[in-house]
Amino acid sequence: MPALETRRDNLLGIAFGLASVALFSAQSLVVKLVGDRYPMNEVVFFRHAFALIPAIVMVMHQGGLRTLRTGRFPMHLARMAAGMSSMILGFYALLLIPLADAVVYGFVSPLLVTALSVPLLGERVGIHRWSAVLIGFLGVVIMMQPGQGALEWGVLVALGGAFCGTFVNLTMRKLGATETAASTTFIYTGLGCVVFTLSLPFSWVTPTFGDFLILAGLGLGGGVAQYWYTKSLRHAPSALIAPLGYFSLIWMTAAGFFFWDEVPSATTLIGAVVICGSGLYILYREARRR
């Protein structure tokens, strides 16, 4: 019976994980559809404002207001700064380069997490994971095509977003020791909402009713995706859930082709295989080490 319950929990975790990846992918599509019509700070405002609704549900479901007590507010501020920077750069990258490329460059973040966990978290990384990191960076070099002309600005923006996303992961590891998923999500979303509300008078563009619904859906979908991802980790180990994120590459490549006639180049495909393979191997080694 325990084995059957474990299997059911794993399947439920996978279902929540795939659903969250689908919503995060839909979020990227929304940004690419409307992001060039509105200032980026306004787009991110909607992302945070409407994500507060599922964040409040998370708080109430996991213990109420008492879960928001924290003695690590400076760490929450660091997580907010890294998260907002990663989101803005990631959204900008979607407007500058093909969808598939933006997604693959985002997969650089797990490689950076492994590399930076040594000096910042004091973790030990063996030769297997260091080798995977180096091979993954080789995949980045393949995609960037050195010697083929000027480096594309969108590539730098995407890599900057991945770099900031690395610090989101690292700060979340530290916060995870004392804070609940509900508190970190709500505090990050709430602080982001305040910051971007203050920025609106400087660049506000009134959305049409249709675009308002799309932007509201962007926030709700992102918040629900975060909630479902948290639920997935409650039912299944991270080693089983984390690789599901790579499914977004398939969906985004298909969306880029059908909506924008984007066809990944040979270097993108080769680089994607190298980067994703390295990331999966790192996940495998971490799971085996634990």
Given the structure tokens 């409307």, which residue do they identify?
34
Lookup: tokens for 266: 């040979």
Predicted TM-score (pTM) of the model is 0.87
Per-residue pLDDT, 148: 52
Q: Where are the alpha helices (DSSP H) in the chain?
A: 2-34, 40-61, 73-96, 99-106, 108-121, 127-144, 153-175, 181-199, 209-235, 238-241, 247-260, 266-289
- What φ, ψ does residue 204 adopt, rounded to 5°? -65, 135
The contacts of residue 32 (CB under 8 Å, 6+ apart) are: 94, 95, 99, 260
Per-residue pLDDT, 115: 86
**3-state SS class at 124:** coil
Per-residue pLDDT, 61: 82
Q: What is the mean pLDDT of the chain?
A: 86
Task: Summarize pLDDT for 51-67 with one digit per residue, the tens.
Answer: 999 989 888 887 777 87
How many whole angstroms separate alpha carbon 161 and alpha carbon 101?
13
Q: Is the alpha carbon torsion for 122, 123, 126, 128 positive or negative?
A: negative
How many whole angstroms separate alpha carbon 194 and alpha carbon 281?
39
Task: Summarize pLDDT for 131-168 with one digit per residue, the tens.
Answer: 988 999 999 888 887 545 445 788 899 999 999 988 88
- What would the mean pLDDT of 205-223 be, rounded to a whole number? 93
Question: 213 pLDDT exceeds 60?
Answer: yes
Rg for the chain, CA atoms, rounded = 19
Domain residue extents for the chain: 2-289
Question: 245 pLDDT exceeds 90?
Answer: no
How many whole angstroms separate alpha carbon 113 and alpha carbon 63?
31
**Of the ranges 4-8, 31-35, 60-64, 232-236, which one carries the lowest mean pLDDT score?**
4-8
**3-state SS class at 70:** coil
CA distances, 236 to each of 12, 88, 124, 218 (Å): 8, 30, 25, 27
How many whole angstroms separate alpha carbon 279 and alpha carbon 107?
8
Question: 104 pLDDT exceeds 50?
Answer: yes
Who wins on pLDDT, 126 or 43?
43
The contacts of residue 6 (CB under 8 Å, 6+ apart) are: none
How many whole angstroms separate alpha carbon 173 and alpha carbon 181?
11
**Of the ranges 138-147, 199-208, 275-284, which one carries the lowest mean pLDDT score?**
138-147
pLDDT category of residue 71 using cuts at 50, 70 and 90: confident
> 108 near 162, Cβ under 8 Å?
yes
- What would the mean pLDDT of 245-269 be, rounded to a whole number? 88
> 245 near 117, Cβ under 8 Å?
no
Specify the DSSP class assigned to residue 207. P
Q: Considering the chain, what percentage of its residues have pLDDT values greater than 90?
A: 31
pLDDT category of residue 113 using cuts at 50, 70 and 90: confident
Per-residue pLDDT, 1: 40
Per-residue pLDDT, 211: 93
Who wins on pLDDT, 34 or 284?
34
Per-residue pLDDT, 239: 66
pLDDT category of residue 88 using cuts at 50, 70 and 90: very high
Who wins on pLDDT, 165 or 237?
165
